[in-house]
Amino acid sequence: MCTCQICGNEDHDARKLNLRYGYNLSEISDKFHVEPDGSFSIDTCKDCRGNFLGVLGYFMAGNLVEDTSSVDHNIPVRVNGRTVMMNTQEWNAYVAKRGESGRKPQRFI
Per-residue pLDDT, averaged over 46-71, amounts to: 78
Q: Which pLDDT value is given to residue 58?
A: 83
What pLDDT sits at residue 8? 92
96 & 46 share domain: no
Which residues, in sequence order, are CB contacts of 36 under 8 Å at separation 6+? none
Total number of domains in the chain? 2
Q: What is the pTM of this model?
A: 0.56
Closest to 4 (Cα-Cα) out of 37, 39, 72, 51: 51
Same domain, 55 and 79: no
The pLDDT score that the predictor gives to residue 43 is 92
Query: Mean of the pLDDT values across residues 39-63?
Result: 87
Q: In this predicted model, which residue has the larger pLDDT, 65 or 75?
A: 75
| Mean pLDDT value across the chain | 80
In sequence order, the β-bridge partners of residue 41 are 18, 33
Domain range for residue 14? 2-60
Q: Are 80 and 44 contained in the same domain?
A: no
